[in-house]
Amino acid sequence: MTEITENKPKNKVKLHREIWLILVVLTIALICSLVWRITHREPAAWAVVTVEGEETARYPLSEDQSQVIHGYNGGTNTLVIRLGEAWITDASCPDHICEKQGKISRSGQTITCLPNRVMIEIQGGEEQVIDGVVQ
Amino acid sequence: MEWFNKKRIAKKVALFGVLIALAFVFSYVEAMFPFTFLVPGMKIGLANLIVVITMYLMGTGAAFTVSIVRIILVGFTFGNLSTMMYSMAGGLLSFAVMALCRRTSLFRTEGVSMAGGVAHNVGQLMVAAAVIESAAMFYYVPVLLVSGLVTGGVIGFLAEQVMRRIRVYLPG
């Protein structure tokens, strides 16, 4: 019993040191992530819209928006950009393949609508490449 | 006296055998079922539990032996030279930091283990950065620092609990 009472204040004093260790490490971690964020800003990514091979518009992926694209022969596609991803929600063409192509967000990915001759390509921003694997 | 010494040495050898085997098995278990939680690649470092316990019960030198022998054995058995390099860097740095923390009695077991966990991850990251030759690795620094803290804390807590219970049974 006496041992416990003797140990208690000693333990308390030392616990403070561990809290300092935790705080110091967390601070370093925070500073590292902040420095990383400031120095390595993600390159701006754009959804580039081309109709019949000619670029008609480009929208930043960083802004949530919805745009109607006027394609060949009066056809329209609705492009939605949300949370850094772009996809087509509505198309005037009969087969709606572009709607099924899913969401694109990385450089080089495309969505195409053949009947309207519309192509949406992501330019800039994160590449699809993995730069290394570590075990 | 001679006989007494021999008996002591035999006891020590047996104890080392048990400790290294335990550390080895813990590494194996972890390789089989990676306890990945929170972050991909995060390991709890069960083998380090043995290193911490050895450090407290048998001293720094003994813990160093267990740690190095374990890394070499595991490296040759389940890994390759590349994985061994990572373990070695992490293990050595972690060991140096833990020995220092313990020598200066800066922290209790939990704190020593936490510092060791963080140092382990920093060591591995340094090797990774050297191998990949890319500063992009340091994107991972905050994650690894925090995970080292968490796993080190868990291991330290476990070590403390184990030591409380086994201290009685160990040869002086």
pLDDT for position B39: 65
CA distances from B138 to B2, B12, B109, B130, B148 (A): 56, 42, 29, 11, 15
Total number of domains constituting chain A: 2
Residues of chain A that touch chain B, judged by Cβ-Cβ distance less than 8 Å: 11, 14-15, 17-18, 21-22, 25-26, 28-30, 32-33, 36, 40, 131-132, 134-135
CB A61 within 8 A of CB A85: yes
The domain of A99 spans 46-123
pLDDT for position B134: 67
Here the CATH number for the domain that contains residue A51 is 2.60.320.10
Order the strands of the A118-123 sheet from edge to edge: A54-60, A46-51, A118-123, A110-113
Please name the member of B41, B108, B142 whose beta carbon is closest to the beta carbon of A14: B108
A5 within some domain? yes
Tell me how many helices (H) and strands (E) chain A has: 2, 7
Residue of B nearest to A135 (CA): B83
Q: Across the interface, do A32 and B141 touch by the CB < 8 Å criterion? A: yes
Give the SS3 label for residue A58.
strand
Nearest-angstrom CA–CA distance, A124 and A41: 13
Chain A CB within 8 Å of residue B60 CB: no
Chain A CB within 8 Å of residue B36 CB: no
A12 lies in the same domain as A59: no
A18 lies in the same domain as A77: no
CB A59 within 8 A of CB A81: yes
Mutant choice from B87, B107, B125 vs A, greatest count of A C-beta within 10 A: B107
**pLDDT, mean of residues A128-132:** 61
pLDDT for position A96: 83
Q: What are the structure tokens assigned to B56, written together?
A: 């407290």
Within 10 Å of residue B16's Cβ, how many Cβ atoms? 16
A131 within some domain? no
Q: Across the interface, do A134 and B128 touch by the CB < 8 Å criterion? A: yes
Chain A CB within 8 Å of residue B134 CB: yes
**pLDDT, mean of residues B5-22:** 88
pLDDT for position B100: 94
CB B138 within 8 A of CB A36: yes
Q: Domain residues of chain B, as ranges?
A: 2-169
Chain A closest-CA separation from residue B21 CA (Å): 24
CB contacts of A11 in chain B (<8 Å) are: 108
**CA-based max dimension of chain B:** 61
A128 within some domain? no
Q: Write phi, then psi, for A95 (nearest 5 degrees).
A: -95, -20
Of the pLDDT bands very low, low, confident and very high (cuts 50, 70, 90), residue A74 is confident
A81 lies in the same domain as A50: yes
A54 lies in the same domain as A94: yes
**pLDDT, mean of residues B121-135:** 83
Q: In the CATH scheme, what is the code of domain B2-169?
A: 1.10.1760.20
Angle, helices B109-132/A2-39, rounded to nearest 10 degrees? 20
Nearest-angstrom CA–CA distance, B148 and B114: 7
Report whether pLDDT(A130) > 60: yes
Say which amino acid occupies B53. Answer: I
A9 within some domain? yes
Residue with tokens 């060791």: B116
CB contacts of A131 in chain B (<8 Å) are: 132, 134, 136
Please name the member of B108, B132, B145 whose beta carbon is closest to the beta carbon of A132: B132
Please name the member of A15, A17, A32 whose beta carbon is closest to the beta carbon of B142: A32
A134 within some domain? no
pLDDT digits (tens, 9 = 90+) for A28-66: 989 888 888 777 666 678 889 988 888 888 888 888 888
ipTM of the complex: 0.73
A133 within some domain? no
A85 lies in the same domain as A36: no
Chain A closest-CA separation from residue B140 CA (Å): 9
Nearest-angstrom CA–CA distance, B99 and B17: 22
